[in-house]
Amino acid sequence: MKYSLLIVLMVWTHLVWGGDVAVVTVPKAGTYLIKKLLEQLGGDCPIYHVDEFYESKTLQEQYSKRILLVRDPRDVCVSWVRYVVSGKADQVDQNIKALSSAVKEHWRALGMDKQLEYVIRGNSPQAREAGVHPTLIYFPLFPYQEAARHAKDEGTLVCKFENLIGPQGGGSLSAQRSEVEKILCFLQIEVEAEKLQSVLEGLFGGTRTFSHGQIGGWKKVLSRENHKLFKKRHEKLLLTFGYPT
């Protein structure tokens, strides 16, 4: 009897998290949040970065339901610059790791204000003239623009980092609960109230690449000029995902 029950539970779990559901995230949008959420709910599903997923027709055909995780792109830019400068990117990103020490030192020497400017501009004449390697500025905004093109695709649920992070990250418990319930509804899963509360309390922090995972940090970092530049070049991106300009 116990063996039969185990088989039933294994099949149920596969049907819930496997099959046609995938998580798709923009860089530095809090992938760990979705991963922890699914783990605490006792399930799992594949997680892909935006460029990896939408460049593959096979993946798009295989996974007809997508949870698209986004974050304020200005916070994403700040997080990306810190991620690279800190050396954490070398631990998990082979493209960054492969860059020469001279390239990385040149990038660090520019300082955060210039780094953010070039990330916002992307692969621009200004960045090339400054000798910035394209790999350092490909992320995060190029993949984010790809996410915007697919935000309204059929079977896509857009989820925001700002809602998932909860009160410990500068958000609210009500927004966090609402976002998680939205995901559960999308996955057609029911969870008891006590279990849901336990899941919410355990989402914040706890990974080796976790740093400054809070809301609106860009306001303290972006210069007035870079803020204006971002709005000029990427206002449509903000509007697509409902972020204030």
What's the pTM value of the predicted model, to 2 decimals? 0.86
Per-residue pLDDT, 163: 94
The proportion of the chain whose per-residue pLDDT surpasses 70, expressed as a percent, equals 89
Q: What is the H or E stretch that residue 210 is in?
A: none
| Bridge partners, residue 22, by sequence | 66
In order of their start, the domains of the chain are 16-72+150-201 (3.40.50.300), 74-143+214-240 (no CATH)
Q: Is the pLDDT of residue 205 over 80?
A: no
Res 242 pLDDT > 60: yes
DSSP state for residue 126 in the 8-state scheme? H
User: What six digits make up the tokens of 210?
Assistant: 């976790």
Produce one character per residue of 14-26: b if its CB has 16 or more CB atoms within 10 Å, e if not. Answer: eebbeeebbbbbb
Per-residue pLDDT, averaged over 15-39, amounts to 83
- 168-181: pLDDT as tens digits: 888 899 999 999 99
Angle between helices 193-201 and 31-40 (to 10 degrees): 150
Containing 114, the helix (H) or strand (E) segment is: helix 112-121
Residue with tokens 């954490």: 88
Query: What is residue 167's predicted lDDT score, i.e. its pLDDT?
Result: 87
Exposed, middle or buried, 101 (CB in 10 Å: 0-12/13-18/19+)? exposed
Residues 6+ apart with CB under 8 A from 135: 95, 96, 99
